[in-house]
Each structure stands twice: as structure tokens, then as C-alpha cells.
Chains A and B, each alone.
Chain A
């Protein structure tokens, strides 16, 4: 018996080495997957779009599947995918029958099987869409109840993003759960909400000379800091970037006052440990690039600055962007911000304009 083992040792060794090699390959997934947010609620036949990227330097061929909640119907249920080395594709699966969850969280799973390897990605997908409505930007949040809440948690603290639109205004309410509220100008570092809006089919460049494709705004509280609904609702909006600006400009620290964007209406209020940033941005500014109409798809990304609490909260991280999608040029620096060790994620997260959440 012993002799047999010794005799066969080279074979076992070879097998073992092969297994180790396989493990090494398996450890590095051949593809990366991410399910995009829905553009309309699942009851209205949205597409579950899966982004799939070939991470290897050889072509990839596989079958992509999406698993949805039990009562839903998907068409097709699987699709073949061919990817060149490094290539990324968006593969749509139509939700023919879906249901609406009030909390706007839908557990979905994407899997890709190719070359004997199955890669799986489970995500809590949301409907990221602005229903049609024009709220009053007044520090009272009662008229936001028919918005579709997009919730993410960072460091145990909740952020909820609500959006509305009509032909004249894009409206956003960001509810930031945080221990302490720091208004702009009261301390060296302040709380803020930074948002980027860009047309569909645009990308962020990788060099400072390339042009920005985004409209980027910074919302801060000014003065006051009074607790209570509708009180201390002063706020300010700064326009940090717009399409055509050299990306490198955003990497420089600029005085905020020169970037004040007074066409936007801002109200900031605080109720029970939550700071509400409410803003109405005139669509006139963006209309030539993002036409306000039902079903319009575009990109909206959000950063929350909570320097004395959770630090930087990035919707990109919560939405499951890949590590390779971090991009220092995707967001503008500004005085008073505290950034993390790694750059934020890119600002190209899917969002939509819809008619109604119902």
C-alpha cells in the first residue's frame, strides 16, 4: 500500500497542483455582474438590466440568468452572452409580471455560467425613478409621499433619496440620518449632499483634459441649524460642474461662492435626527441634454458628506458598482469636504423619469 502511494506520488502531486491552479482561476471570477436599478416600478414591466464584464484577457461565452421573486415573470429567463476580453455589455430581461414593494427593495440574483464556472451576484435592486409631480420646496416634506424612496445604509445610518419631476423642475429630497448637523461655514468641514446628473449613454473620462458630461450640484445648510420641521430651512445650491467643463477643473479647490446657483430652490430642515435636503433644479438648465419626458432614462448619483459621523456615503457603493468603477474625476472637490482613502464611485447610475409610482 505504502509502495503504491510512493509510486503514485508524482501523479497525486500533479493532480494537487492542477487543483490548486483551478482554485486560483476560480478565485478570480471570469466576469463581474451587476443588476441595474429599475427605471419604473416592477408592476409596469421594467427591464432588469444586467451589466456583465469580461474580467479576463480571453473571450468569454456563457449563459446569463436572472432569478426574480416567486410570483414574477421574466422574459427571457436566460440569454447567451459573448464578450471580448475586457468588454462590458448591458443585457435586458423584461419583467412581464412584477409586484410593487412599498419599501422599494427587490431581491434579485444574476448568475453567469461559462467555461464550467458559475458567477453569482445577489442584489437588493430598487426602482430608481422620479414620478411626475412638483413639490413645494419649503422644508415641509409632506408632499413627498408619492415619491419612490431609494434607501441605503452606511455605517448604520440611513440615507433616503426621493425625486420628482415636471417639465420645469427636477426635485430631489435627500433624508440623511446623522447624529449632528453641521451647516456650511460654521466649522472647517460641513455636512452636504453632492449630486451628479448626466444624460444616458455618457461616460466619465479618465484624463483631466476630457470634458465633463455631468451637471453637478452641492447642497448645504446655511445658518440656523434650528431643529424642527419648517424651521431653519435656509440652504444653498452650488453648481460644481456642467457638461463641457474640463474634468481637471473639478479636481481643483474653488471658492464656493463663485459657484452659487441661485436658480435652484433649496430648503434644509432637521427633524428627529434626520436632516432633509430639499432642492428644485430648473429643468431649463438641462433640457437640451436631458429632455423631461415620461420614461426618460439618465444618470443620477449621490454622495452624502457626514464628516463627523459616517464619513462619505456613496450611492454607487450601495448600488453595487464594481471596484473598478471608482473614478476620481467623477466628482468635484470643494472646500470643507472630507474624502475617503479611495475615490468615490463613478457618477453614472441609472435613474428614470416616470409618470407615477402607481
Chain B
């Protein structure tokens, strides 16, 4: 029995070791005022979600070095709640559940590659230069409503949910970026963002993505627990800059071209040196690619191969909406078929 357990552990450890190769350059000792962002991804081919979660969490801790974690964003695509909960339990067996949040997605990508099967990607945020405030809103009341028939009701409920969620956040004068993860797939996500903007204003930088909408798979995570019909907000504040871009496309060539354009636009806008990239991407865009890697390679052309990149495939994206026909007066909105790209940088 013992040797059997050991064999399983070893197998997962090997997987984790491979995943560690995905990690960007590590900052083992953070300087005062630093913002430390690290990303790990673990793929599980053995249907061992708890072990995968544990391995990912351990890899993240190692990548963070001496820097204490303040928040961990999860993107996972295990199948069915039982496996998802097991995965999160694995993560929380290593990391404090209070800081673990995120959502079920259609997969993740980092500098090392893309995953669309049983996998977990963790974004770790720490350092003295960053503050976090995370909140959850539940029972939004829209999970069972369809846009075609219930649009007015969805608008009303998600405006209220967004306003309530943003209103709960601990605010500072140095708030820089809100990350939203929600059970509000496109086009519902626009209404949630509008609700949040009632509190934060239309020009506040917001990015994020919507949870996997496959039947029985739609969950967001907060404090290590799975929630349906809910949304999570993570406010980042501190001495750093952000730059956002959004690109819409739904054909192989345009998906690839727009990924490079979007990443390049964010880089051009960023005042300072980039320290990490967040890419909330559309699973539909991915499906149009002949090779998933092509879109990732296009982003790399703009940002290079070394910058820590946290990417996930969503059912709706939040960020600057790419629509020339209907220009918005808001910086961010909710849409589909988008790559919402955010760079975080330091002066």
C-alpha cells in the first residue's frame, strides 16, 4: 500500500517537475516595494486532481521564493465538480484557502504552452509593492437565464450584482487593476461590468474572464470553495502600472494576428518595465486555430519569451472591447471572441 502511494506521488512529482520548467525567471528574494508575480501550470494525465493541485501549489511556493503570497488566482479545467473540488482541496492543502480564488475555465496557457485537458494554472501575487482585496458575490440569479428571452432581467440582476461586488471591495487611493472572474458568460458579462463600473467608474482598468459554461462545469472559486451563479473580484493596488488591450477575432489568421497586435498595443501603452502579463482569452478563438501554439507564439513576438504569462480560455472576456462599429465610453466591457491582454509593469 505504501509503495503504491509512493508510486503515485512520484508520478505526480514528475509532472510537477515538468511544470516547473514552465515557470519564468524566479525572484527568490523580493526587494522592498517589489511586486512579485509567478505562474505555474500542472497537467494531470492520471486523473489525480488532488495531487495535481498539491503539486501546482508546491511549485508556486517554490517559484515565489522568500516572497509571501497575498493572492492566488486559479484557472482549472478538470471535468465535473467532484474532480474540481478535489483539485482545489489539493491546492489548499499547501496554500491558505483564504487566498485561493479563480474559476473553472476551458484551459490555460503560459510561456511554456497551452493546455485544454485536466490541468491547473496558478497565478501567485505577492510582494510589498502590491495590496489585494478580494470579494465574492453569490446568487446573482442569472445562471439559468438565457440572453435571448431574459435580457432585461439579466441586465437588472447583473448590474445589481456588479455594484454589490465592487461595493464590498476595500478601496485605496492606489487601486490599479480589478480582475473579475464570473459565472456570466458572453454577452451577459457586459452587464456585470457595467454594474461594477457604477462603483469604480468607467475608466477604471478591469480585466477578467467568465467561467466555463459547459453543463455542470460552471464554478468560480473563493477562499478555496466552489460557487455557482457567482462572481469574484480581486483588486490589486500598489506601486505599479497596468496597460490593457482587447482584440476580437474568429478565424485562424486573424486570431493569430490580433494576438500579436493586442500584446504589442499593451506593451506600447505601458509606462515602465513589464513584470507580468495576464491574458483572458476566448475558448472560441482557440477553436479556430489550426495549432493552439500559433496564438501563443504571436503574443511572444510582442512580449518575449521570459515575461511571466498567465493565460486562460474563457466563456466571455472582460477588458477593452474591440468594436469599431459601437464605440464605448468605458475603458472595459464584457464581450466574446476576445483576447483581453493586460501588462503589469514597474517604473
Contacts and interface: CB of A to CB of B under 8 A. Distances in A.
A94 B212 contact: no
Contacts of A92: 251
A294 B251 contact: no
Contact of B79 (A47, A167, A291): A167
Nearest to A358: B146
Contacts of B214: 132-133, 166, 294, 355-356
Contacts of B147: 43, 358
Interface in A24-53: 40, 43-45, 47
B284 A40 contact: yes
Contacts of B286: 293, 295
A133 B212 CA distance: 13
B250 interface: yes
A92 B254 CA distance: 13
Nearest to A201: B290
Interface in A318-358: 355-356, 358
A94 B216 CA distance: 29
A293 B250 contact: no
A355 B250 contact: no
Contacts of A47: 250-251
A295 B283 contact: yes
Contact of A45 (B148, B213, B337): B337
Contact of B288 (A100, A295, A355): A295
Contact of A133 (B215, B250, B283): B215
B287 A94 contact: no
Interface in B212-248: 212-217
Contacts of B79: 166-168
B9 interface: no
Interface string A194-221: 0000000000000000000000000000
Contacts of B107: 293
A294 B215 contact: no
Contacts of B287: 293-297
Nearest to B117: A167
B315 A43 contact: no
Nearest to B144: A358
B109 interface: no
Q: For the complex, would chain B's binding face be called helix, strand, loop or mixed by DSSP majority?
A: loop
Q: Residue among A94, A294, A358 with the most chain B CB within 10 A? A: A294
Most chain B beta carbons < 10 A, residue from A44, A168, A355: A355
Nearest to A352: B287
Nearest to A357: B146
A78 interface: no
A138 interface: no
Interface in B135-170: 146-148
Interface in A290-314: 291, 293-297
B108 to A, nearest CB: 13
Nearest to A356: B213
A101 to B, nearest CB: 10
A94 B250 contact: yes
Interface string A123-165: 0000000011100000000000010000000000000000000
B106 interface: yes
A99 interface: yes
B116 interface: yes
Contact of B283 (A43, A131, A167, A294): A294
Nearest to A164: B215
A295 B337 CA distance: 12
B146 A293 contact: no
Nearest to B282: A295
B217 A132 contact: yes
Interface in A46-63: 47
B146 A44 contact: no
A55 to B, nearest CB: 27
Contacts of B131: none
Contacts of A132: 214-215, 217
A166 B216 CA distance: 11
B215 A44 contact: no
A99 B337 CA distance: 17
A167 B117 CA distance: 9
A294 B250 contact: no
Interface string A62-82: 000000000000000000000
B283 A355 contact: yes
B90 interface: no
B251 A355 contact: no
B336 interface: yes
Nearest to A40: B284
Which of B116, B117, B215 has most chain A Cβ within 10 Å? B215
A355 B117 contact: no
A290 to B, nearest CB: 13
A43 B148 contact: yes
A296 B148 CA distance: 24
Contacts of A166: 79, 214
Given A166-B79, A295-B284, A100 B148 contact: yes
Contacts of B288: 295
Contacts of B251: 47, 92, 94
Nearest to B216: A133
B214 to A, nearest CB: 4
A162 to B, nearest CB: 14
Contacts of B337: 45
B116 A291 contact: yes
Given A167-B79, A355-B315, A293 B215 contact: no
A186 B148 CA distance: 48
A168 to B, nearest CB: 8
Interface string B81-109: 00000000000000000000000001100
B82 to A, nearest CB: 13
A356 B215 contact: yes
Interface string B103-130: 0001100000000110000000000000
Contacts of A133: 214-216
Interface in A87-103: 92, 94, 99-100
Interface string B6-22: 00000000000000000
9 contacts: A43-B147, A44-B336, A47-B250, A167-B79, A293-B106, A294-B283, A295-B287, A355-B283, A358-B147
Give the 8 A-B residue pairs with the shortest CB-CB distance, closest first.
A295-B287, A132-B214, A133-B215, A293-B116, A294-B283, A358-B146, A355-B213, A355-B214
